[in-house]
Copies of this chain bind each other. A is one copy, B any other.
Amino acid sequence: MTEPTTIDSKDTILDAAQNLIAQYGYAGFSIRDLSRASGLAKGTIYHHFQDKREIYRSVMERDFSELVGGLQAAVAGIEDPVAWLHCFVRAYLHQANKRRNHIQALLRELGAMEGEMRQMAMRIREGVAGPIVTVIQQGIAQGSFRDISPQVAVMGLIGSLNTYIAWQLVVDEQSVDENVSDAIVDIFLYGLKKEETQ
């Protein structure tokens, strides 16, 4: 039942749109491009979506749930905060590598979007950052993490990851090297400074 044999046009469009948005951003891709890329007529696109904006929203929401789903699956059942972070980071880079820079695309657009879009962006931010905050709070409670601001710490971690993705993927056009994840977590956990101080 629910045979996925029939290729759903809506998904075809979203797939093509995802690539175009990732490459050119919201303002930078056209419905004509999307029509060409998806192999469907312009009219068909507007049969399935009301707006260019609705296409964008749909792509972002689909991406988001896939990303959060992938992250949740990766860290499911892990109790130890340190192990959790290692898994999480590995999964994050894996997702980014697999579906190529949707996170970039999202961040890229934030400034130009209003209202409804902005709310979506905040939901996404919360969806990714929320679990990390929780884990850090657990670590602090357990006494294995220092008593710092989890929010600032999360920015440090996610910022590192996104910057890595942006620099490797976008500027150097290489694919993500997942081995770097250990190095990132290492710095995130132990910092730059030698133990002598503190």
- Asked if A36 is at the interface of the complex by the 8 Å CB criterion, the answer is no
A156 vs B89: C-alpha distance when bound (angstroms): 13
The secondary-structure label for the interface of chain A is helix
Minimum CB distance partner of A183 in chain B? B152
- Assess the A145–B108 pair: CB atoms within 8 A: no
CB-nearest residue of chain B to A29: B27
A14 at the interface (CB under 8 A from B): no
Tell me whether B144 and A194 are in contact (CB under 8 A). Answer: yes
Query: Nearest Cβ distance between residue A158 and chain B, in whole angstroms?
Result: 6
- A1 and B192 alpha carbons, distance in the complex (Å): 44
Does chain B have a CB within 8 A of A45? Answer: no
Which of A51-59, A63-71, A160-168 sits within the interface? A160-168
Q: Which residues of B contact A188 (CB under 8 A)?
A: 156, 187, 191-192
CB within 8 Å of B: which of A101-155?
101, 104-105, 107-112, 118, 121-122, 125, 136, 139, 143-146, 148-149, 152-153, 155
Question: Roughly how many angstroms separate A108 CA and B24 CA in the complex, as a whole number?
Answer: 10
A8 at the interface (CB under 8 A from B): no
Known contacts A22-B111, A158-B163, A159-B161; can you find 16 more A-B pairs with CB under 8 A? A25-B25, A25-B27, A28-B112, A104-B107, A104-B110, A108-B108, A110-B170, A146-B190, A146-B191, A152-B184, A156-B188, A159-B162, A159-B163, A188-B191, A190-B192, A191-B192
